[in-house]
Each structure stands twice: as structure tokens, then as C-alpha cells.
Amino acid sequence: MIAASTAENLDRAAELLRAGELVAFPTETVYGLGANAWNASAVRKIFAAKGRPPTNPLIVHVASRDQLQLAMAPPDERLSRRLDQLAACWPGPLTVVVPRHARVPDEVTAGLPTVGVRVPDHPVALELLRRCDFPVAAPSANPSNYVSPTRAEHVDAELGERVALILDGGACRAGVESTIVTLVEEEPRVLRVGALPVETLAERLDCSVETLLRSGPEARRAAVAESPESPESQLSPGRLPEHYAPRTPLRFADELDAEGQWYAEWTARRENASPPRIGWIAFRTVTSVPSQVAQLVTLSERGDLEEVARGLFAALRQLDQTGLDLIVVERCDETGWGRAIMDRLRRARRAS
Ligand code: TXA
Ligand code: MG
């Protein structure tokens, strides 16, 4: 059930969480599917509701920077320094992977010695967390491998039956998930590009973008695929199966070979030769699209990638629900917001 984020409903949501129920709530990135992080059986409900493999750890959400310590082991000097450097990032779309506090159940961390924690930057999330005397474990509130939800209605459509309450906070501001950085290695390293641009993170941590992205997401995925037992997969288990994918096949616009050939191949593969219906996602105003395009979604008139990120998942969902044969999407430069956009699209591309 979707509920307005009134003080009364926030009280109720906190009460439900305390009692071991699931509550979906908005964050600045995407909607989260929350459970009391101290309650292992409540946390197991998250995995059941999402159909998520138990090997994929959850992010723990707390109300303030000081509360990060609820979930983490007492930091050594190096880690304290790193956390100080990152202080200004919270509340915000940054998750840090740090050694876990003994109190965090194995269910949350998938048995890892580390835990991912963050302080979300959304008034409803913060109001909720302040009402809880426990941290809230929450993955994105979508069925495992489907596109993350950026509106309460998205959560309701797929998980409505499985959550006690969905707090409505309107559309999420960032629209892609938080950036994840691990602080348990000699140097910090990004495990997932996201809504905090890596350039900003590099500045705060006083290191280079290259350092942060060393054996970046692509290289790591390849390594994991090659050898599921490799140290890489131990480090970030569950990263591989996350596709963020619509059910409709997705291709990049530059894969469509200008005019013609793709279209010929496509129709040749189809039993009935009716023309494919295409949904096109543009990052800026376009003046012409191929004639097979049945639906055009323009995410930003001027190609502003922050705006593109905000609307991307909702556009994928919308086009996925209209019985199209193919979703075609543009590419963008992989800097700033463009990194997270291309990362999510490549996953969607691969899975379709
Ligand atoms: O923006 C976000 O981060 C959203 C909102 C709800 O906070 N949450 C989110 O959660 O995207 P989820 O579960 O969809 O993605 C969390 C990712 C997973 O890929 C998981 O493998 C990784 O974080 N992760 C969590 N704990 C980890 C740990 N201890 N070590 C390495 N990776 C971890
Ligand atoms: Mg997710």
C-alpha cells in the first residue's frame, strides 16, 4: 500500500520495521526495501520478496554520519582518516564498504567480514531512520535483476503485495543507485559507479580517478565471469548477476547500422514479417528517428546527463510495458554522471 509520508505514517512505518516487517521508502537515488538490520528474520524477508540470492549483501542505512559506527567495527587510523575525508558526502549517494560491526547479522553482509553503509539524502528516509532505534538494511525495491524503482508506483507494481507499507516521496532526485567505494584495501576503490560522480570522490579522497577505478567494474566483471572463485568475486559477491534489465531487448543506437541492415536482419529473424516496434530513448532533442520508432522518450532537451540519469529507469520501465519489440538507447561520454548511465545500460544490454 502506498502511503503519504505524513508524520503519522512515518511513525507507523518505524513501528512496522521494529516489528520485523518490510517497508519501502524513497531515497535520493532509488526506492529502498527496508528491514530492521538487527533482525535476521526480517532481513531474510527482503531476500524472499526480491528473489535475491543470499550471497548478495545489503546496504545498511543510518540517519547520520555519527551513526555509521553502529554498523562498522571501530575504525583504525587509516579508515578514520578516509571517513573524515568523506564526511561532507553524507547525507548523500555514497556507500562505503568497511569492516563490519559484530552485531550486524550474516544475513545482511552475506557472511562477509565487511558491510556497506550510507546516510541517504532524502527527507522521508531521514525522518524514518530518525524514528528507528536500529539501522535499516535496504536494497533497491525491485525484483532481483529488474530495473530499480524511482517512484512509489514502481515499487507497488512489483512488490506491493510483499511489503507492509510503501512511503511515497515522489520521484527520486538522482535516479541511479549510490556509488559504492571500498575502504578495506590499501587504497580506496570503486565497486559500483553511481550517483556520486567518481571525479567528486577522487577529489575528496585526494586520489586519482584511475586509482578509484583500477580494475574497474568492467574488468572485475570479466574476472568474476572467468573464475567465480576469484578474489574479485569474494570481494563483491552478487555484483555479477545484477542486470537492471527491462524484459524487452535493448540495443544501443550505434548498433543499428545507420539505415537498413539492422532492420533487414531483424525482420528476417521474425516469423511474421510485421515491422518491429521500437522505443527510442534520446538524451537530447532529436530531429529525426528511424520510421520504425513507435515511441520516443527524450530524457533531456539539452543532453544534461544528470537529468538523463534521473529519468532513465522510469523510461526503461515505461517502454518495457508497451509491448515493443526493441528498446534503442543512445550512448554518452563516460565521465561524471555518464559513467553510471552507461554502466546500467550495458548491464541491461547484456541481459537482453
Ligand atoms: O542507492 C542505493 O545504494 C540503493 C538505495 C536503496 O540505498 N540501494 C541499492 O542496494 O542499490 P542494492 O542492494 O540494490 O545494491 C547494493 C550493492 C550490491 O551490488 C551489493 O553487492 C553491494 O552493494 N554490497 C553491499 N554490501 C557489500 C559489501 N560488504 N561488500 C561489497 N559489496 C557490497
Ligand atoms: Mg539493486
pTM of the shown model: 0.92
Least confident of 4-18, 30-44, 262-276: 262-276
Question: At residue 8, does pLDDT exceed 70?
Answer: yes
H or E stretch including 180? strand 179-182
Residue with cell 551513526: 67
Cell of residue 286, nine digits = 532529436
Give the pLDDT confidence of 171-220 residue by residue, as tens digits. Answer: 999 999 999 999 999 999 999 999 999 999 999 999 999 999 997 555 55
* Residue 265 in this model has a pLDDT that exceeds 80: no
Q: What is the pLDDT of residue 228?
A: 47
Q: Are 52 and 162 in contact (CB under 8 A)?
A: no
Residue ranges lining ligand 1, Cβ < 6 Å: 27, 29-30, 32, 56-59, 95, 97, 109, 112, 114-116, 120, 138-140, 177-178, 180, 191, 236, 238-239, 242
What pLDDT does 276 receive?
A: 79
Res 23 pLDDT > 70? yes
Among 108, 121, 180, name the best residue to mutate to test ligand 1's pocket (greatest count of ligand atoms within 8 A of Cβ).
180
Q: 307 falls in which pLDDT band (50, 70, 90)?
A: very high
Q: How far apart are CA 180 and CA 166, in angstroms?
A: 25
Q: Provide the pLDDT for residue 255.
A: 85
Window from 138-147, 153-162, 214-223 with minimum mean pLDDT? 214-223
pLDDT tens-digit readout, 58-69: 999 999 999 999
Name the closest ligand to CA 47: 1
AA letter at 276: P
**Quick check: helix, strand or coil at residue 304?**
coil
How high is the pLDDT of residue 232? 47
Residue 257: pLDDT band by 50, 70, 90 thresholds? low
CA of 140 to the centre of ligand 2 (A): 4
